[in-house]
Amino acid sequence: MKNYGFTLIELLVVIGIISLLASMSVVGYGRIRGKANASKVATDFQQIKLGWELWKNSSNAIYPREGASTNPDITCFTEPSIEQTVVQSFLGDVYRDPWGVRYSYDNDGDTFSGAGAIDRGVNIALHWCAGNGSRYIDMATFIDQTIDGGDGASAGKVRWNTNAGANGGIYYLIAVNEAS
C-alpha cells in the first residue's frame, strides 16, 4: 500500500522557507515605506516653496516674519504652522508630514550663512520635540538627496539636526533673509 502525503520534516522545511520569505518581505516593505515618506516630505517642501513664490510674486513683498502663533502640533517650538501664514490661500491643502504633523514657517529675522545655526534664513520646517527625531533623521538624507543632491546635514538648502533626543527639525531654506 502506497502512502500519499508529506512527512513531518518536509512540512517543517516548507514552513521554514515560507517564514524566511515573509520576514524578508517585511524588512523590504519597511525600507520602501521609509523612502515613500521621505518622497512625500520632499514633494511637500517643494509645493509649499512654490506657494511662497506665488505669494511673493503676487504681493511684491518680502517674506513676513513669523507671527506670534505656534504650530499646534509642535509645542516645543514657537514657529507657526504653514496654514497660519499668508501663503495658505495659495496652497489650498493643509500640508502634513506622514505622521500628521503640520509643517512650520521659520523666519525670525536671523541671517543665513554657511556656518552656524542650520535654521538661519526663511525656512519651511519639519520640527520634532525631544525624543521624537529618529524617524525624521532616518529620512532626512533621502530628502537631502532628492532636493539638494545629498550634500549633508549642515550644507545646502536642506539641513537638519542629527540629535534625535533633542528638539530639532529638517529645514528647507527658501530664501536668505531680507531686511524688513
Q: Per-domain residue ranges for the chain?
A: 36-175
Query: In which residue ranges of the chain is pLDDT below 50?
Result: 115, 179-180
pLDDT at 180: 43
The grid cell for 172 is 528647507
Alpha carbons 103 and 86: distance in angstroms, whole number? 14
The pLDDT, as a whole number, for residue 8 is: 84
Enter the CATH code of domain 36-175.
3.30.1690
What pTM, to 2 d.p., does this model score? 0.80
pLDDT tens for each residue of 14-42: 899 888 888 877 767 777 888 899 999 99
Among the listed residues 168, 73, 96, 173, the one whose alpha carbon sits nearest the alpha carbon of residue 128: 168
